[in-house]
Amino acid sequence: MRTQKRFGASALLLAALLPVCHCGDPQRASPSDSARKLRMEMVETQIAQRGIRDSAVLRAMRTVPRDEFVEAGDSANAYDDHPLPIGYGQTISQPYIVALMTELARPNSSSRVLEIGTGSGYQAAVLAEIADSVFTVEIVEPLADAAAERLRRMAYGNVVVRCGDGYLGWKEKSPFDAILVTAAAPEIPRPLLEQLAEGGRMVIPYGEAAAVQQLLLLEKRNGRISKQEILPVRFVPLVR
């Protein structure tokens, strides 16, 4: 089981932010046997068989109950092999894409990770199972509020949610060892490149919202950025 991490007093945020914190030591509600079985099948058939090999990523995908992050009417479809709407024109990504982006980012137990596009909080929860700390930015306030409450309820004390413009990143918490962008951008946001740590990796869908985009892996080495195209994807646009 994941060891829960807590922020110290220095992590208290201004009122403009939405902290996700521990109060006591609550136990997560146990998922139903059927949901657990579907989750195990999802990881085996949709993720492991498609080439995801990182053991920490596979463990995180087996641990996080995706049915907690979809709308109530979609809970029966939570482990299907496709994205689902979560309201406000946004979606929760296909499970394989969540696993792939996490594996590409290579977070570890000491990593500080930035996510752009919190959505329902699923990707943040997967990252939190692996990384030391996760900072996630969502521009749609109701989604940010709901994700913060959901992650708090599920005892993810190493995640902090902020409502704001993800294009600008989160400068005061930088540099980040990994940055994941879960919305398509027609250009690579320069503030995110500046906030990426030396040796850090950024995963971002690149391209116009109305077209097929390219998932990119960017790495910073000696102050220079290398770029690798991974595969074609379709994401909602990065909203300013």
Identity of the amino acid at 194:
E
- The Cβ of residue 75 has, within 10 Å, a number of other Cβ atoms equal to 15
User: Residue 177 contacts by C-beta under 8 Å, 6 or more apart in sequence?
Assistant: 107, 110, 111, 112, 113, 197, 199, 200, 201
Choosing from 30, 55, 93, 111, the catalytic residue is 93
Q: Which CATH class is domain 15-21+95-233?
A: alpha beta
pTM above 0.95, yes or no: no
**Would you state the pLDDT for residue 203?**
98
Element holding 136 (H helix, E strand):
strand 133-138
pLDDT digits (tens, 9 = 90+) for 86-118: 999 999 999 999 999 999 999 999 999 999 999
For the chain, percent of residues with pLDDT exceeding 90: 85
**Would you state the pLDDT for residue 209?**
83
93 noted as active-site residue: yes
Please answer whether residues 109 and 130 qualify as being in contact, where contact means their C-beta atoms are separated by less than 8 angstroms.
yes
Q: How long, in residues, is the chain? A: 240
**Would you state the pLDDT for residue 44?**
98
pLDDT digits (tens, 9 = 90+) for 1-25: 444 443 333 332 332 344 443 333 3
**Would you state the pLDDT for residue 25?**
39
pLDDT digits (tens, 9 = 90+) for 154-211: 999 999 999 999 999 999 999 999 999 999 999 999 999 999 999 999 999 999 988 8
Is 237 buried (19+), middle (13-18) or exposed (0-12) by CB count in 10 A?
middle
pLDDT band at 27 (very low <50, low <70, confident <90, very high): very low
**Would you state the pLDDT for residue 16?**
34
Q: What is the mean pLDDT of the chain?
A: 89
Mean pLDDT calculated for residue range 129-133: 98
Is 231 buried (19+), middle (13-18) or exposed (0-12) by CB count in 10 A?
exposed
